[in-house]
A and B are shown apart, each in its own frame.
Chain A
Amino acid sequence: METSRRTFLGTVSAAAASSPGPGDDPGHEHQDVPSEPALRVKTLESLLVEKGIVDPAALDAIVDYFEHKVGPRDGARVVARAWVDPEFKQLLLTDAPTAIAKLGYSSVRGEHLRVVENTSKVHNLVVCTLCSCYPWALLGLPPVWYKSNAYRSRAVIDPRGMLQELGCTIPENVEVHVWDSTAELRYLVLPERPAGTEGLREEELAAMVSRDAMIGVAKIGLPAQEGPK
């Protein structure tokens, strides 16, 4: 282990020293000059392509997949279906992989997914304190705040205080259930359907469901939250 640490210092410290600051700052500035990490990654990519370890077309496909093919709209579709179809909702809560397969999401994509339901008595919150585990099969890659030291450390010890700062105050009589993704289960929150939406179609409902609500840091219908992209 000591050897590993020394070698890390040799390889990484230069990159780290020139990086702009803690990785938890979501406000990355746009840079016209390639940053040090950009050059290092470019160098690594050309080496691995040259050695036949990776295919650049596969890299393009992976980036394209996560930028365009998967995202919170997938999760929102699942939530909206659960709101309008009680049978689907029941299946989603007991066997999420089978349920989402009915919407065309392959069982592989939904493997080990678990959906937990918000009610008038329970509010759920999802975190990964050890790394960045996230229900990416339905939400895509996690946002910076989800991977931040601040969120990972605080979500388990002070969920109510943290949620309040994020504008999501949980009433005293509601239980907060935090789900720390320590194994291969991936958690998605089924938010409460807002009152007054009885007349909306499934697609309209899906448009209301935000990524943040499916992680448990926002309620549906409150301002200052993003809709699915």
Chain B
Amino acid sequence: MENELALLNNYLVVGAMLFGIGVIGFVSRRNMIIIFLAAEMMLQGVSLSLVAWARYHNDFGGQMFVVFIITVAACEAALALALILMLFRASGSLDIALWQHLREANQPAYVDEEIPELEVKSPTWPRLVPAGRQPELDRSDTEHRPSV
């Protein structure tokens, strides 16, 4: 019994930590996919503590609950992917701060402080000495398709 209580404690602490990390990620990140992942992490924390409680009480209700939580989370993930995809098509960015047109009439928009532009340098790779037979490439394999 002592052992079981210690085990329960440990799992509850880990579950609460996962939940807390999820909350922090949810409120501090701006990438829509990462926000969603943070919410998923909160759900995992809940699931972990439910399973720990189920073991402690020797009751299967908690595990059943977790199965349903996982399913609902999958449904939400599918919807989130679809939603994010549509928003990305509309705005071309995953930044959630772009979606702030609905607000109180006289409230100013939230504007970023100056963020230095990240220098993106496309790397130049050396050409290798050709050897062997030239592979036959389909044009569609090498071309960059801009349609997303």
Q: Do A and B share a complex? A: no
